[in-house]
Every structure is written in C-alpha cells, then in structure tokens.
C-alpha cells in the first residue's frame, strides 16, 4: 500500500514552475529519500503534502486523503519537520509538548520527555535561548513524539552534529522497521545512501529518477583509476567504449566503467599500465549525472 501518492502534481508560482508533472508513490514502511539540488522543488512538494500549498494541477494524497481538502485529517498521523524551522520564542520543550498534546488530543509528555532525554534537550529552556541545533532537536521531538505513521522531514539533519545525526538515523531506522514510513528530503547523497530504501531525484521541478537504492547501485558505475608507465605514449592510447575517462591528471587517469570488469582486466593486460584500481559502484557520480542532465534525458 502506498502512503503518499502524487499524480501529475504541478505547482506554479506565477510564471515560475515549482514542480511539474510529479508522479510519485511512497510505499508503506519505507525510508524514502527525496533528493535534489537547491531549488529543485523538494520543499514545494513537501509543502503540498502538508497542505500549505495548493496544487496548480494534478493532486497529492496521503493515506488516501486529498492533501489540500483534508489537510487537517491527513496530519493526525503525520509528523512534519519544516526545512527552515522557526519556533515561537517563548516555547520550551515541556510547554510545546503540553500544547501539541492538547491539540493532538493525546498526552505527549512521556514520549516527548523520553525523546528529549535521548536527544539531550533541556525541557525548560525557551527557544529564545536555544542554539540552532537545539531548536532542530525540539522540532524533531515535536514531529516524532506522537509516533506518527508517516514522518515528513525537510532536510532534518541541517544544523545537527554528527553524533546527533547518527541518533536520528537510528531512530528513523527503528521507526521504519516498525512499519512507519519516513519521507525525507536532502541534498546530501551520503545521508540518503546510508539510510534509504528508495530514492526519488528531482531536478528543476521534474522527477528524473525514482528507484530503490539497490537498483541505483546496480546502475552506478565503478570508478577506475589508472596510472600509466612513464614510457607510455598517452596520446596513442585508444580508450575502449566501456571506459568513460572523465579526468586526466598527467599519468593518472580517472574513468567510470560502463561494462563488465573482466573486459577491463583483459584490455588493461595489454596496456603500459603501472597501477590499476577498480573501486566500488560510485553513486556520487550517478547522482551528479542526474543533477546535470537535462530533465527527461
């Protein structure tokens, strides 16, 4: 069952296009990464999902409910952390849990208190006196405290220290293994790589990829580093079609492997190569290609 479904979702801001024809499906219980460079439409999509923006065309549904018309019902089981988190200056963690608990109609003080202890957030310090990282922690606590079925996080690790990031990742993994769905946006590949089951990539408002991380890894090319002998005549070397050389630094070449490893081994045996290394499939380059290519290519 899909928790989030968007169909040809388009959002325009006057003449400017935020997102265009976005068709997406997020299965229940997945850790779904939503990747894209700045301004690619990640936040716009998320704001449509939480009912802050009205779609110009198409539609978005969460738990089968229309995100615009039934926005308040949708959010009963949604935890949301905005990208540019702003909190009321007078708010403390304990007051926030009290107010949010009343609005949600359930007691959040226990679960919220446990999260605050885990994240190392003092319950009675107000937002005015909190650092950015502390505020982010409070935002996360408020998004997580009611154990939502769907968690929508817009670049959640911004301003968190690495230790806290690891805690959050672990928390998200636990949630996903318990059947909860996590939809989170990021422009950091490593974050998505170590956390997500599935990834969608946006570029200039358009979806350029929507696959499992396994499928992406299978398509990602290995990085090949070659070091030529000093005597080698580099101008005379014919590069085979399965090698895409993207950087030449004197006698050191960097390429991505587009064919089987054995073909490379066979070819290199006849070459004046001093050293050859074949790396792991490189997702970074794959993502860079997605970011750089024209949409639809």
Give contact residues for other proteins (rule: CB under 8 A). 13, 43, 47, 50-54, 71-76, 78-88, 90, 95, 99-105, 139, 142-143
Query: Minimum distance from CB of 100 to other proteins (Å)?
Result: 7
- Closest Cα partner for 145 from 102, 100, 176? 100
Pairwise CA distance, residues 6 & 3, whole Å: 10
Query: Minimum distance from CB of 42 to other proteins (Å)?
Result: 11
Q: In terms of CB distance, is 63 or 287 closer to other proteins?
A: 63
Query: Minimum distance from CB of 26 to other proteins (Å)?
Result: 18
Q: In terms of CB distance, is 78 or 216 closer to other proteins?
A: 78
Q: In terms of CB distance, is 76 or 190 closer to other proteins?
A: 76
Sequence-distant contacts of 102-106: CB under 8 A, at least 24 apart: 104/76, 104/146, 106/146
Pairwise CA distance, residues 109 & 125, whole Å: 16
Q: In terms of CB distance, is 59 or 272 closer to other proteins?
A: 59
Q: Which residues lie below 8 Å from residue 263, measured CB to CB, with a gap of 6+?
A: 240, 242
Query: Minimum distance from CB of 187 to other proteins (Å)?
Result: 15
Q: In terms of CB distance, is 65 or 276 closer to other proteins?
A: 65
Cα–Cα separations (whole angstroms), residue 100 to 92, 96, 139, 143, 242: 12, 6, 12, 10, 57
Query: Minimum distance from CB of 21 to other proteins (Å)?
Result: 19
């Amino acid at each position: 069952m899909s928790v989030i479904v968007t169909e040809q979702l388009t959002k325009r801001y006057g003449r400017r296009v935020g997102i265009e024809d976005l068709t997406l499906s997020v299965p229940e219980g997945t850790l779904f990464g939503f990747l894209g460079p700045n301004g690619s439409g990640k936040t716009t999509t998320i704001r449509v999902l939480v009912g802050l923006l009205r779609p110009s065309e198409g539609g978005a549904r969460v738990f089968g409910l229309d995100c615009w018309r039934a926005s308040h019902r949708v959010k009963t089981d949604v935890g949301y952390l905005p990208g540019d988190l702003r909190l009321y200056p007078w708010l403390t963690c304990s007051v926030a849990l009290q107010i949010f608990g009343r609005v949600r109609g359930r007691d959040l003080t226990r679960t919220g208190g446990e999260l605050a202890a885990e994240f190392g957030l003092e319950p009675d310090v107000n937002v005015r006196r909190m650092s950015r990282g502390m505020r982010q922690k409070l935002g996360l606590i408020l998004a997580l405290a009611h154990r939502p079925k769907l968690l929508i996080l817009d670049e959640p690790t911004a301003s968190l220290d690495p230790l806290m990031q690891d805690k959050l990742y672990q928390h998200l993994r636990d949630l996903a293994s318990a059947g909860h769905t996590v939809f989170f946006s990021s422009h950091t590949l490593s974050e998505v790589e170590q956390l997500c089951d599935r990834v969608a990539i946006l570029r200039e408002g358009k979806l350029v990829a929507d696959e499992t991380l396994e499928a992406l890894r299978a398509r990602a090319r290995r990085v090949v580093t070659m070091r030529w002998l000093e005597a080698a005549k580099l101008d005379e070397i014919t590069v085979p079609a399965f090698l895409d050389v993207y950087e030449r630094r004197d006698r050191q070449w960097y390429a991505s492997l587009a064919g089987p490893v054995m073909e490379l081994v066979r070819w290199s045996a006849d070459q004046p190569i001093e050293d050859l290394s074949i790396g792991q499939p490189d997702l970074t380059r794959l993502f860079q290609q997605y970011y750089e290519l024209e949409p639809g290519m």
